[in-house]
Amino acid sequence: MQDILEELEGHGKVVFTLNDASKMMNKPKSYTSKLLSSNKRVSRIERGKYFINTGKGIDLYEIASQIVFPSYVSLFAAFQYHMITDQIVTTFSVISLKRHRPITFGDNKIEFRNVQKDKFFGYTREKNIYIATIEKAIVDSLYLNLPSFSYVKESFSTAIGRQIINIEKLVEFTNRMNSGIVTKKMNILLSKENIRVSKSGVEKR
């Protein structure tokens, strides 16, 4: 079993299924399940799905973004990841094409927000974490109305101040969402920071 866990880690699969392990061991699922349940390095996420305790602590970003495929962490958790909020996050929001029930990890919760395929974009892979870019995390927050608009404004302002946000990309993502509500809220955010967007480009008033 140790060899299997090391191989999974080597392939970046900290989160894996019973089927994954069973195939690698060439053993029945019932036998593999018993081995996994008795292994101290393995913890169960939900039925048929596990994660490996690497000894470096539990990375909820890594776990959250690999439960459903494809998916990525966004909204307030992404704000925290990109360090544009001082608020403490206890709910890790995952954007997915599929519905999935929430999962509780101690004091933290992983929730799943499903969107249509044309709105599923704007994320990157950093090591084993699938995470929204700052621009997409803001747009997702406006589209899904989470977190509260005041927190979005605060995080947007922080990103502007630290010069770590691409306004052209932000506008592009806003347009791709094809949502009047998102466009209206984005205009409020830009106006608040005295940013004007025109055909000639972006300018600070």
**pLDDT tens by residue, 21-76:** 898 888 899 989 998 888 888 889 988 899 887 666 678 999 999 999 999 999 99
**Prior bond to 28 cis, omega within 30?**
no
Concatenating the DSSP letter of every residue in 107-161 gives: TEEEEEEE--GGG---EEEETTEEEE-HHHHHHHHHHHT-S-HHHHHHHHHHHHH
Cα separation, 108 vs 180, whole angstroms: 33
Q: Which pLDDT value is given to residue 1?
A: 67
Contact in structure between 80 and 151 (CB atoms under 8 Å): no
Q: How far is CA 192 from CA 38, 134, 144, 156, 185, in A?
A: 55, 18, 21, 10, 11
Length of the chain in terms of residues written: 205
Residue range 143-188, pLDDT digits in tens = 999 878 999 999 999 999 999 999 999 999 999 999 999 999 999 9
What separation in angstroms does the CA of 16 have from each of 42, 72, 81, 112, 196?
10, 16, 23, 18, 46
pTM: 0.89
Domain limits, CATH 1.10.10, in the chain:
2-52
Q: What is the pLDDT of residue 167?
A: 95
190-204 burial code (b ≥16 CB/10 A, e <16):
beeeebebeeeeeee
Its sign, for the CA torsion 32, 38, 43, 45, is positive
Where do runs of H (alpha helix) occur along 26-133? 29-38, 60-64, 75-81
**DSSP state at residue 96:** E
When pLDDT is cut at 50, 70 and 90, the band that residue 205 belongs to is low
Domain spanning 2-52, CATH class: mainly alpha
| Per-residue pLDDT tens digits for 94-127 | 999 999 999 998 889 999 999 999 999 999 999 8
